[in-house]
Structure 1
Amino acid sequence: MKAQEAKSRTEEPLHGPSLELPQESLEEIGPVLTDEQKSRIQAMKPMTKEEWDARQSVIRRVMDPETGRVRLIKGDGEVLEEIVSRDRHREINKQATTNDGLTFQMRSGII
């Protein structure tokens, strides 16, 4: 009986930390980053001059849905002026004033 107990003890795996890892677990050790985490890391690192210039060279038209105003936005948020004719300027102001009035009336509960 003692021989069987001694034999079963030697056949049992040793418990505790082991330096030998199976090949499957070696692949899982490194951190797995999601796309959101990667974008946060990218956002946290400093930009190079070339990246900054590339970002600032993008000019886009943005429309404010409440007032209907359209603005030119450069890069990260600088508002640019657009050169237009006198007639176009009057048309823009007329439309903006109308939309501003409608927005005010909607917020104050008149309409």
Structure 2
Amino acid sequence: MAHAADTPTSHTRESATEGVEQALKMIEGRWKLVILFHLFGGQSMRFSELERSIPEVSQKMLIQQLRQMESDGIVRRKVYPEVPPRVVYSLTDWGQALCPALDALLSWAAARPE
């Protein structure tokens, strides 16, 4: 599947607005950015490790946010055939490609005039 980075596209104001809104919807949610920052840099984490790393999130909410990110193609879920099953989460290449965009957004926010 080709991604936007593979093929340059010219946007109209409307299509650019729609595209950015769709992208922001994929990362909106109380815990999605926290999860992303735990998984950046090639990190793979078991569900229990993520749960311990983010103690404020409920198990139900963590599962829900991970499932949404998986269905959006940002997170990869790998189940190892063990007893009990070991489930490991990591970012897809496309999910990892979010890092520079979020770094740029962080730099932009830090440069806010006072």
TM-score bracket for this pair, using the shorter chain length = under 0.3
Q: Which has the higher contact order (CA 8 A, sep 6+)?
A: 2
- TM-score by length of structure 1 reads 0.25
